[in-house]
């Protein structure tokens, strides 16, 4: 089974965030990157050195696992320009990404795509900072603004 993966350079870039985030884990960093990538619609396949983590949602993230899976499906539908009324295509995308069982509810393709969004999210965040964040406080303040902006213009933006 595929695992959650994050780039080594992302871990380095976010090292001060993890160090100053009370109880901060590598999975927290992965989650920040994945949410940024999904919200901004940024997806980039992993290339080069990456850290393999667990193949399940850790305890703190189990309550939001369904939300993360839903965001992944919607992001992929938007990327493929598939409307929710296109039932056959929606079902096909859903089946390709969501396993419905196992530790994480993702197919291997679903895990690959979620990792690609985490990677794209890291790239999106790194592009927005002049230098890497020095503390969790600084990161979260800027992160929330950036993800808010992405939500207004990315795949989850309300039709205008």
Please indicate, yes or no, if residue 74 is contained in any of the structural domains. Answer: yes
Please indicate, yes or no, if residue 42 is contained in any of the structural domains. Answer: yes
pLDDT range class, residue 103, cuts 50, 70, 90: confident
**Token couple for 86:** 């296109």
Domain that holds residue 120: 5-153
Helices (H) and strands (E) in the chain, counts: 7, 2
Mean pLDDT of 85-107: 89
Please indicate, yes or no, if residue 81 is contained in any of the structural domains. Answer: yes
Mean pLDDT of 70-75: 93
Higher pLDDT, 34 or 160: 34
Place of tokens 């780039």: 7
Q: Is 100 left (phi over 0), alpha (psi -120 to 50) or beta?
A: left
Q: What is the pLDDT of residue 139?
A: 96
Average pLDDT, the chain: 91
Total domains, the chain:
1
**Token couple for 12:** 């380095």
Please indicate, yes or no, if residue 12 is contained in any of the structural domains. Answer: yes
Please indicate, yes or no, if residue 76 is contained in any of the structural domains. Answer: yes
Res 1 pLDDT > 60: no
Entry pTM? 0.92
Please indicate, yes or no, if residue 109 is contained in any of the structural domains. Answer: yes
Instruction: Work out the percent of the chain whose per-residue pLDDT is above 90.
Output: 72
Please indicate, yes or no, if residue 158 is contained in any of the structural domains. Answer: no
Please indicate, yes or no, if residue 160 is contained in any of the structural domains. Answer: no
Mean pLDDT of 35-52: 91
Q: Express each pLDDT in 118-132 by its tens digit.
A: 999 999 999 999 899
Instruction: Report the C-alpha gap between 21 and 2 in whole angstroms.
Output: 27
| DSSP strand pairing (50-52 vs 5-7) | antiparallel
């Amino acid at each position: 089974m595929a695992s959650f993966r994050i780039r080594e350079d992302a871990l380095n870039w976010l090292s001060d965030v993890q160090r100053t985030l009370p109880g901060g884990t590598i999975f927290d960093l992965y989650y920040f990157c994945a949410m940024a990538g999904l919200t901004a619609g940024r997806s980039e396949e992993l290339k080069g050195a990456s850290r393999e983590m667990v193949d399940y949602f850790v305890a703190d993230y189990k309550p939001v696992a369904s939300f993360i899976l839903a965001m992944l499906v919607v992001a992929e539908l938007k990327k493929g320009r598939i409307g929710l009324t296109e039932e056959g295509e929606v079902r096909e995308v859903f089946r390709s990404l969501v396993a419905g069982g196992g530790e994480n509810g993702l197919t291997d393709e679903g895990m690959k795509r979620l990792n690609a969004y985490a990677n794209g999210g890291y790239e999106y965040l790194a592009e927005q900072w002049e230098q890497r964040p020095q503390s969790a406080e600084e990161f979260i303040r800027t992160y929330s603004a950036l993800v808010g902006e992405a939500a207004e213009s990315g795949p989850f933006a309300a039709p205008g």
